[in-house]
Amino acid sequence: MRVVLDPQRCQGHNRCYLVAPELFEPDDFGYALLKLEGPVPTHLQEQALLAVANCPEFAIRVEETPGG
């Protein structure tokens, strides 16, 4: 699994880095930045799914990668 963030959709609702602080951080303006490139480690996959579910702008999605 990898996380994809669409910065064009992000409106700075802050929920992603509250529910997934190991995957997201805010930039200087409060918009989301991805902290992780590439496959999401197993122990962070739940955070990734929480972020997807909590972003009201649908700016975050996950894609399956080979090997999960």
> Which residues are near ligand F3S by CB under 6 A?
10-16, 31-32, 55, 57, 59-60
- Which residues fall within 8 angstroms of residue 53, CB to CB, at 6 or more apart? none
Q: Shortest approach of ligand F3S to residue 3 CB, angstroms? A: 10
CB of 62 to ligand F3S, least distance (A): 13
Question: Beta partners for 32?
Answer: 26
**Smallest distance from ligand F3S to CB 66, Å:** 26
H helices, E strands: number in the chain: 2, 4
Largest CA distance in the chain: 35
Nearer to ligand F3S, 22 or 57 (CB): 57
